[in-house]
Structure 1
């Protein structure tokens, strides 16, 4: 059998003259390096569009003559649009051709960025970011679903980690590059380039995924051999309550991670270490990419459930360590590397768990998962500001570590529910 196939596609005989052949199942075409590169670049460009807005806010405020504090609404509008639209986009993608949905979303994303660059007023600019958030909601989860359904079951989380590293690379490469471009050519140039890039990518996406039917992802090939991979209910369907608990873990994880990340630069500035911000963020980003790759490999070998639990436990411990050593830069650097490595090992393992557990609605679950991520991120921003202002940055980190504990407890419940009989 072709190792890239996600379904058996074989006949079985239960005795002479009696066949239990169910007919051939769809065979998943091979996932080539070119497809992975295309998916990575898509995540990189969409991620750059998300992360680049923050460093451009002062330039946007000066250009459109609005208060700098008001421009923060651009990030809020994008995030809220993403949270609301993502589940609907995921359901649409699961019911229709994923490649077609992805191409259409990239074209819409490109048009939204052109409109962003040309917006003559802040009100219209805000509207364009809402449209961009809706388009982005249909891109990321669909990309993840397309690659996961073609990946070998024994390497699914690793592939998801590689593609997801495009988003993390945007954090420490794409966003700073956009900020540099803005200083020399204006903030509008950044969005014109992003529009051109996503429009170009829409063309290959419309064709390269059509070389055969893609079978639903599932743990068929791996659940029996990988601890904690999960065993879906008959037909691959599970209840809505279980789905809600599954993505709630991501929301708690995101709050813990982004309470640390969002206010790190602010805390360093207040502590008189503004010169350390740039290189510490680069170190953090590199550690996050490395952690994601390690998490993907470990999830495929040791089981997705086990990796999510260990990652959350280590994340809570290292976030406390960051709080304790914050005044000392060299110790802070070490603690940030350990924290980012542990924290971002969680995400590809969580994605694999969702695809394995909910194979018939993989895109929808990945969409809900991304929405949960943005919910946690938004709450971290909303809660973190008052906490830092009233009690200081280390106290926010203690809160973030505390929030990781119930997330870890949910994975413990998940592990018990997934343990096969007799083990």
Structure 2
């Protein structure tokens, strides 16, 4: 069955089965757990090396900086080489870095191991997303990306706490040994699965051609800038939530409020992916950003009332995380031949926004209080909503490389 343009009809394009999606999900979960587990393990690491917790905070910075710097380069390589091979090499390197983290005799080598881990993680996430997006059914691309991305979100509220408990009772090194073993084992099926799944002939639903040149660098920069603003808005709330609750005498509420937030984030990702596949991804991103701004202000207003805060946090997470899979689909549709590179830039933009939120949030909370930071985050989401624009090209994109 063929379309009017002579291409295979979209409905006949084979999609992904549960196996490859589960493999991609598990990969994102383990990499995400490594990303999020370091912060709660910092006191144990500090005690192990006889240094202050503030000094071990460099481990988080080293990982994040390495990720931001390496991600665009890793995406560039992945779009020009066999993506499955790039992913396998990255997972093996990631495993070695985690083993090095567990075995490091001092802070210097520990920092080196975290830099290597950050660089390897920069190659895993976007490559996994690109492999999935180019093989998913076009009409289910964003939803599939959302399912895979939920592995990262699940690590936020399941993997990291589990690793923290493991570090408390079995030693912080144990958590990294398990992560090293897990990612090394995942490299084997990744080396086989993606080569058995050919890239479909069509990368987007058939549409009437649209005149004009393909989108250029300016469109890509504008797109990832939106992600930076979104990340600042979202992570200014998340990063300092536990600190603010502790300072307010509500430390016992931290765990279950974070669970509410995590469940809302997973649900939001699924809804965002579904709506982006059924309509215009840009409309979904703009709607999500507008709701993010409004609900972040609501969280600030009800912060002192715990149950109202729980409801507002859940709704905020649903709205905020609906943005990401829609944004990923938008970028892949715009640049199908450079999918990994654009997703890499997008992930770097996320880390830049997260880092800016951490850097600016501390002084704001100290001087004006946590609700003031939330109002700032809500204000930042407004220009993000205005910048988010443009539609994917209407031509049938073709993936250039596996």
TM-score (ref. length: structure 2): 0.93
Report the secondary structure of 2:22's partner residue: helix
* Map 1:395-406 → 2, pairs under 5 A: 395-406=372-383
Question: Which consecutive residues of structure 1, in runs of 5 or more, have no partner in the other structure?
Answer: 12-26, 225-229
Asked if the contact 1:60/1:187 (under 8 Å) is kept, the reply is: yes
Q: Name the counterpart of 2:353.
A: 376
Report the secondary structure of 1:209's partner residue: helix
Asked if the contact 1:219/1:231 (under 8 Å) is kept, the reply is: no
Q: Name the counterpart of 1:277.
A: 254
Q: Residues 300 and 352 (structure 1 numbering): CA distance in 2 closer, same or farther, change over 3 Å?
A: same
Whether 1:137 and 2:122 are equivalent positions in the alignment is yes
More deviation, 205-214/351-360: 205-214
Query: Could you report, residue by residue, the CA deviation over 1:292-330 in whole angstroms, capped at 9, with x for unpaired residues?
Result: 001100111122011000000000000000000000001
Q: C-alpha displacement at 1:70, in angstroms?
A: 1.1
Q: Name the counterpart of 2:398.
A: none
Q: Name the counterpart of 1:33.
A: 18
* Map 1:115-134 → 2, pairs under 5 A: 115-134=100-119
Q: Name the counterpart of 1:206.
A: 191
Pick from 363, 374, 390 the counterpart of residue 414 of structure 1.
390
| In 2: Cα distance, 1:331 partner to 1:233 partner | 50
* Aligned residue pair count: 392
Q: C-alpha displacement at 1:220, in angstroms?
A: 3.7
Pick from 127, 144, 155 the counterpart of residue 159 of structure 1.
144
TM-score (ref. length: structure 1): 0.89
Whether 1:244 and 2:231 are equivalent positions in the alignment is no
Q: Residues 10 and 398 (structure 1 numbering): CA distance in 2 closer, same or farther, change over 3 Å?
A: closer
Question: Which consecutive residues of structure 2, in runs of 5 or more, have no partner in the other structure?
Answer: 396-402
Query: Could you report, residue by residue, the CA deviation over 1:12-38 in whole angstroms, capped at 9, with x for unpaired residues?
Result: xxxxxxxxxxxxxxx975411100000
| In 2: Cα distance, 1:359 partner to 1:414 partner | 16
Q: Considering only aligned residues, what root-mean-square deviation do their CA atoms show, in Å?
A: 2.2
Query: Could you report, residue by residue, the CA deviation over 1:198-223 in whole angstroms, capped at 9, with x for unpaired residues?
Result: 000000101111125425874343x5
Q: Residues 183 and 8 (structure 1 numbering): CA distance in 2 closer, same or farther, change over 3 Å?
A: farther
Q: Name the counterpart of 1:348.
A: 325
Q: Name the counterpart of 2:277.
A: 300
Report the secondary structure of 2:195's partner residue: coil
Query: Could you report, residue by residue, the CA deviation over 1:243-295 in whole angstroms, capped at 9, with x for unpaired residues?
Result: 10011000000000000000000000000000000110011000100010011
| In 1: Cα distance, 2:378 partner to 2:242 partner | 19
Q: C-alpha displacement at 1:393, in angstroms?
A: 0.3
Whether 1:58 and 2:35 are equivalent positions in the alignment is no
Whether 1:173 and 2:158 are equivalent positions in the alignment is yes
Query: Could you report, residue by residue, the CA deviation over 1:134-164 in whole angstroms, capped at 9, with x for unpaired residues?
Result: 0000000000000100111111000000000
| In 1: Cα distance, 2:65 partner to 2:184 partner | 24
Q: Name the counterpart of 1:18.
A: none
